[in-house]
Amino acid sequence: MHRQSLTDYGKPLQATDAPTPVPTGTQVLVRISHCGVCHSDLHLQDGYFNLGGGQKLDVSANRTLPFTLGHEIAGVVEAAGPEAAGAVQGKRYAIYPWIGCGTCGLCARGDEHLCNAPRALGITVDGGYATHVLVPHPRYLLDVEGIAPEIAGPLMCSGLTGYGAIKKAVAFLRAGPLLIVGLGGVGMMGLQFARAMTDKPILVADIDAAKREAALKLGAAEAFDPADAGARKAVYKASGGGVGAAVDFAGSEKSMGFAQGAVAKGGAAIVVGLIGGTFTIPVAMFPLRALTLMGSYVGSQAEAVEMLALVKAGKVAPIPVEARGLDQASRSLDDLRAGKIVGRVVVTP
């Protein structure tokens, strides 16, 4: 099998070859058709996450080099082990990549994406910048009938992240409407899922006027510029005294300050974005505002299936996708780093 692999942190990917694995037991060998190039791959390439305030989170542990990145994988079953029941040879699937150890309490309750000993494809075990990927069990193969193959992979990351966060938010909309802060790719997906999941008005906020305009076209009720000094007051007015839930898809000190400040009593602020930084809030505000503060990280396999059902039902406008050859993986990471990519790049072997 051919791969584009990380051979050294902070360096371009290199072409590497390895014997094509032969699946045993419940394993499934998938021939990759498309793999999305994701912003989080940049942190893995660097070997650290910038937490803000000069703090770095080392993400180079538990990985041996060369390592193959890529977690937004779609492909076709090429071979399956003798116990891999249900894996249909030649059938097209998206691969749920957030795979856990399979034995801990988190995995047992279906929260493999939160497992502390993950086997996540393209994160802790070899992933999708390759011709093939080995999947440990057929349960991670998700049916994507009717979904364009080039968006099936990215749905496992940006789609699932948007869906998982909005699902948490919907439970708090008794307290008021929804506010989405940060209208990048994930925020836009979140907006579309929200449209499918609630009848409450959806307010949006972003510093970029073009993104606000795009969100209004996708059904947002009102859009705000958080850099505007009167923005918080305007959100309060539009929401009749605060929103039930604010989802922060940016995840910076500023965006979080804005998001939690817009929440009504009894509501929730949900952090998704990973820009970083720190923010402070007087402890007494939690009881006095009956405020819930929570984080949301991708989503479970069950949520991935729910999310795909919404996409199959036509509730989500297709994201613009550019397909490039597998040998363009490293250049695509560079382009992403330089902010030169609109929509999603997928590499295709």
Closest contact distance (angstroms) between CB of 235 and Zn ion is 29
Tokens of 290: 């009956």
Closest contact distance (angstroms) between CB of 37 and Zn ion is 8
Closest contact distance (angstroms) between CB of 186 and Zn ion is 9
Residue 86: burial class (beta carbons within 10 Å; 0-12, 13-18, 19+): exposed
Whose Cβ is closer to Zn ion: residue 176's or residue 185's?
Answer: 185
Closest contact distance (angstroms) between CB of 58 and Zn ion is 20
Residue the block writes with tokens 């929440």: 263
Whole-number Å distance between alpha carbons of 276 and 161: 17
Whose Cβ is closer to Zn ion: residue 23's or residue 100's?
Answer: 100
Q: Give the contacts of 52 (CB within 8 A, at least 6 positions apart).
A: 252, 253, 275, 276, 277, 278
Q: Give the contacts of 192 (CB within 8 A, at least 6 positions apart).
A: 162, 218, 219, 315, 316, 317
Question: Which positions touch Zn ion (CB under 5 A)?
Answer: 38, 100-101, 104, 107, 115, 157
Whose Cβ is closer to Zn ion: residue 101's or residue 171's?
Answer: 101
AA identity, residue 283: V
Whose Cβ is closer to Zn ion: residue 80's or residue 319's?
Answer: 319
Whose Cβ is closer to Zn ion: residue 157's or residue 223's?
Answer: 157
Whose Cβ is closer to Zn ion: residue 104's or residue 336's?
Answer: 104
Minimal CA–CA distance to 311: which of 112, 162, 141?
162
Closest contact distance (angstroms) between CB of 308 and Zn ion is 16
**What's the per-residue H, E or C state across 279-347?**
CCCCCCHHHHHCCEEEECCCCCHHHHHHHHHHHHCCCCCCCCEEEEEHHHHHHHHHHHHCCCCCCEEEE
Closest contact distance (angstroms) between CB of 174 and Zn ion is 32
Whose Cβ is closer to Zn ion: residue 119's or residue 232's?
Answer: 119
Residue the block writes with tokens 């789609």: 159
Closest contact distance (angstroms) between CB of 98 and Zn ion is 10
Residue the block writes with tokens 């249909």: 88
